[in-house]
């Protein structure tokens, strides 16, 4: 049984992926690991590059872009993680979801393993993620987007009062970025998960496509009794390509993900007037295409 099973989902990020894998295989420390790359039907040179330069990678090639969570689940199943209560004894002690646009310091993996080994109550952990301009990737420590937390964030109250623990919870801006902190969720760019937590909570929800699945996984893992921890003593660089922010598809999938997350976890406890207001805001943000999603039965 390996200590760590790393799953990297790739879609047309050949150059970033090559650099990411170089840093992964340059890792130092006394631990064992397996790397699985799931390619989501890339039309660049990603697959030939992996086969030529990284033959030690376990490569899964999809014939279509099945989305981020479903592709990660393919990699997780390959490693021996299956659905709830169905995890092989040979599965690695920890699973790591890693984005191809990350670059790891040589000791990042072993330090994260040591941290989680020292904290058996922690089911999910993530490091401090630094963007290309040196700033903090705010997504690496987050609060769940409950109706109230989302209201504080999107109404502007979080910007007005970033140090207020109530208003600043969405991005945890009330806490120093170098402070170890229990959070609601870390980001799927580097999300390390304990084997036993996967066994209890199951895999990622494939109803999401490219956003929200990490929040949902963290939520379900906290529901089965584990904590989620932000560990800034380990620093990982995250390129976080800006292209998706300009993509209409990406913007739609973000708001679709917020709809799924809300309906799945908070609809039943939300009063009807608030529910109508939430759907109205989502429709305004997500556009006409989101109307078809809103009309679908609750998941």
Residues 228 and 289 occupy one common structural domain = no
Residues 24 and 49 occupy one common structural domain = yes
172-192 tens-digit pLDDT: 999 999 999 999 999 999 999
Residues 31 and 64 occupy one common structural domain = yes
87-122 tens-digit pLDDT: 888 999 999 999 999 999 999 999 999 999 999 999
pLDDT at 131: 96
Residues 92 and 212 occupy one common structural domain = yes
Residues 226 and 275 occupy one common structural domain = no
Percent of the chain with pLDDT over 90: 80
Between CA 209 and CA 220 the distance in angstroms is 18
- Reported in sequence order, the residue ranges of 100-161 that DSSP labels E, i.e. its strands, are 102-103, 122-130
Query: Is there a domain that residue 152 lies in?
Result: no
pLDDT at 242: 47
CA distances from 196 to 87, 121, 134, 226 (A): 8, 11, 35, 10
Nearest CA to 253 out of 295, 299, 207 is that of 207
pLDDT at 86: 85
Query: Is there a domain that residue 83 lies in?
Result: yes
pLDDT at 244: 58
245 pLDDT exceeds 70?
Answer: no
Query: At which of 215, 240, 265 does a domain end?
Result: 240
pLDDT at 84: 81
243 pLDDT exceeds 70?
Answer: no
Residues 232 and 262 occupy one common structural domain = no
The 3 state secondary structure assigned to 147-209 is: HHHHHHHHCCHHHHCCCCCCCCCCCCCCCCCCCCEEECECCCCEEEEEHHHHHHHCCCCCCCC
Rounded to 5°, the CA angle 193-196-198 comes to 55
Query: Is there a domain that residue 188 lies in?
Result: yes
Query: Is there a domain that residue 200 lies in?
Result: yes
Put simply, whether the predicted model's pTM sits higher than 0.85 gets the answer yes
* pLDDT level of residue 298 (50, 70, 90 thresholds): low
Q: What is the mean pLDDT of the chain?
A: 93
Q: Exposed, middle or buried: residue 136 (CB in 10 Å: 0-12, 13-18, 19+)?
A: middle
Query: Is there a domain that residue 177 lies in?
Result: no
pLDDT at 241: 64
- Tokens 């310091």 correspond to 105
Find the mean pLDDT for residues 229-240.
95
Find the mean pLDDT for residues 277-293.
86
Residues 137 and 258 occupy one common structural domain = no
Nearest CA to 196 out of 279, 109, 285, 86 is that of 86
Query: At which of 240, 265, 287 does a domain end?
Result: 240
41 pLDDT exceeds 70?
Answer: yes
Query: Is there a domain that residue 151 lies in?
Result: no
pLDDT at 12: 93
Residues 63 and 191 occupy one common structural domain = yes
pLDDT at 1: 80
Q: What is the DSSP letter of 297?
A: P
Beta bridge partners of 225: none
- How many domains does one find in the chain? 2
Residues 124 and 259 occupy one common structural domain = no
Nearest CA to 198 out of 118, 119, 97, 129 is that of 97
Between CA 137 and CA 149 the distance in angstroms is 19
Residues 80 and 224 occupy one common structural domain = yes
Residues 190 and 289 occupy one common structural domain = no
Query: At which of 219, 240, 261 does a domain end?
Result: 240
Question: What's CA 278's distance to the chain center, in Å?
Answer: 24
**CATH number of the domain encompassing residue 73:** 3.90.550.10
Residues 77 and 210 occupy one common structural domain = yes
Between CA 13 and CA 88 the distance in angstroms is 31
299 pLDDT exceeds 60?
Answer: no
Structural domain boundaries, residue 200: 4-142+184-240
């Amino acid at each position: 049984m390996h200590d760590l099973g790393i799953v990297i989902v790739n879609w047309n990020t050949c150059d970033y992926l090559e650099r990411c894998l170089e840093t992964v295989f340059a890792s130092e420390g006394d631990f064992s690991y397996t790397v699985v790359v799931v390619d989501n039907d890339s039309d660049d040179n990603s697959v030939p590059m992996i086969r030529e330069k990284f033959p030690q990678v376990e490569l899964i090639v999809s014939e279509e872009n099945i989305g981020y969570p479903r592709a990660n689940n393919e990699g997780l199943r390959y490693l021996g993680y299956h659905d709830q209560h169905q995890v092989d004894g040979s599965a690695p002690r920890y699973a790591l979801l890693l984005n191809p646009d990350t670059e790891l310091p040589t000791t990042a993996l072993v330090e994260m393993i040591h941290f989680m080994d020292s904290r058996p109550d922690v089911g999910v952990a993530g490091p401090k993620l630094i963007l290309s301009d040196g700033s903090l990737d705010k997504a690496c420590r987050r609060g769940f987007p409950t109706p109230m937390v989302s209201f504080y964030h999107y109404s502007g109250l979080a910007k007005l009062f970033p140090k207020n623990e109530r208003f600043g919870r969405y991005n945890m801006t009330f806490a120093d970025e170098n402070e170890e902190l229990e959070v609601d969720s870390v980001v799927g760019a580097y999300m390390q998960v304990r084997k036993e937590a996967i066994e209890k909570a199951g895999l990622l929800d494939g109803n999401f496509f490219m956003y929200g699945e990490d929040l949902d996984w963290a939520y379900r893992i906290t529901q089965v009794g584990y904590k989620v921890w932000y560990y800034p003593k380990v620093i990982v660089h995250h390129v976080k390509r800006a292209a998706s922010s300009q993509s209409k598809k990406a913007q739609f999938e973000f708001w679709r993900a917020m709809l799924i997350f809300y309906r799945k976890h908070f609809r039943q406890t939300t009063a009807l007037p608030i529910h109508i207001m939430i759907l109205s805001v989502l429709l305004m943000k997500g556009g006409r295409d989101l109307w078809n999603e809103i009309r679908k039965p609750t998941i």
